[in-house]
Amino acid sequence: MIKLIVTDVDGTLLDNKSQVTEINKKALLECKSKSIGIILATGKSISAVLPIIKMLDLCLPQITLNGAVTLDKNQEVLNSTKIGEQYYYEVLSAIKQKGHKPLIALTDGRIFYDSFTSIFSIFEKINESIYEVDRLEKDIYARDCVSLSAVIKEDDPLDAYLRERFSEKLQLVRSGEYFFDVLSLNASKGNALEFIANILKISKDEIAVFGDGPNDLSMFGSAGLKIAVRNSYPEVLKSADYITDENYNSGLGKAIYKYILS
């Protein structure tokens, strides 16, 4: 019996207009009425998903910044995994040397940049606030950073360069068409899910996970039921127990009715 549903947000829970469809909302609220817990597991900051948390009245811990930060019902940090000062400066330098403009995320969820580029407008579309600072090369940021990011597509040479240089030292994940994130090896949605499951005393077989991207695969290993929306990356589709309709066709809600509430 499923006691906990954990879902990715963009590309899974939300449609292509970054909205929760009525079917998805209805299905999740019915789960809550039957004492099935709901957890969001997102690459976003907590502030970006607060409207969803309030709409669904979620009261369990939530997973943010690709698992680097887990927060309780009061948005207080339960657990965080920082990237480390040495790696912070190395990755920051590598991104800039290749002509790109990095962003950093801190434990409190704030996202900073020190040089603007028009591609950053994509953050507004996903309800994510970003803030400009004079420069990122400061120890105060290095000590508290949980993630460094570059807004690049998969075929950008920077993707392959960072993987080649840092794959044995750090975790490199793609959380969307444009979002490439560098985190500690210990930071993942899957690790965050296991942390919460231990607190809640819920077993793997009692957990259902929904996702669409490579950053969701770590959760699949921590769940008894793995469901991918049809718009998922090929490796996610291959790893899923079931494939449901696309995010914009309320795939999550339809799968909840078919595989969980039935």
Nearest Cα residue to 253 out of 214, 218, 208, 215: 208
175 pLDDT more than 90? no
How large is the average pLDDT for residues 10-39? 97
Judge contact between 178 and 158, C-beta under 8 A: no
Q: What is the pLDDT of residues 219-243, one digit of tens each?
A: 999 999 999 999 999 999 999 999 9
Cα gap 19→14, rounded to integer Å: 5
**CATH at 57:** 3.40.50.1000
What's the mean per-residue pLDDT of the chain?
A: 97
| pLDDT of the residue at 72 | 96
Task: Reply yes or no on whether the pLDDT at 20 is more than 90.
Answer: yes
> For position 3, what pLDDT does the model report?
98
List, as one string, the DSSP characters of 29-47: HHHHHTT-EEEEB-SS-HH
Mean pLDDT for 150-170 is 96
249 vs 253: CA distance, rounded Å = 9
Q: Tell me: do 226 and 164 sit in the same domain.
A: no
Query: Is 14 in the same domain as 134?
Result: no
pLDDT at 176: 83
Q: How far apart are CA 149 and CA 64, in angstroms?
A: 14
State how many domains the chain has: 2
Above 90 in pLDDT, residue 251? yes
Instruction: Note down the domain range covering 96.
Output: 85-184
Among 168-182, 200-214, 241-255, which is the least confidently predicted range?
A: 168-182
- Please check whether residues 38 and 125 belong to one and the same domain: no
What values do phi and psi take at 206, rounded to 5?
A: -100, 10
Q: Do 74 and 123 sit in the same domain of this protein? A: no
